[in-house]
Amino acid sequence: MNDSPDRPLIPPYRCSDCGSEVGFRSRRRTFSERFILPLMLLQPVRCGECFRRDYRLIFTQVRDRLSDTPRIVPGKHTAPPNRNVA
């Protein structure tokens, strides 16, 4: 079932549509997703390959949403002083 020794009873995420192993937490949209699903220990999850949305156990290992991850703010780019630009 799972080859990981640190989580023997929790199956890894696998999309039931495309078979991808990359999943992201999805935003809870409706009343039932916000209040009913947590009572059943479920969370919305989106596949990283085909973007199918599904419900999985809250113990299933998935990545954080892309919009929740910290973004890299680009610094001010300055050209080197001795650079020849045509």
pLDDT at 35 (0 to 100):
92
pLDDT at 5 (0 to 100):
57
- Give pLDDT tens digits for 47-73: 888 888 888 888 888 888 766 545 555
DSSP string, 12-81: PP--TTT--S-EEE----SHIIIIIGGGGTEEEEEETTT--EEEEETTS--BPPGGGSPPPPP------T
Encoding tokens for residue 44? 């919305």
pTM comes to 0.62
For residue 11, the 8-state DSSP code is P
Is pLDDT above 50 for 45?
A: yes
Domain spans of the chain, in order of start: 23-66
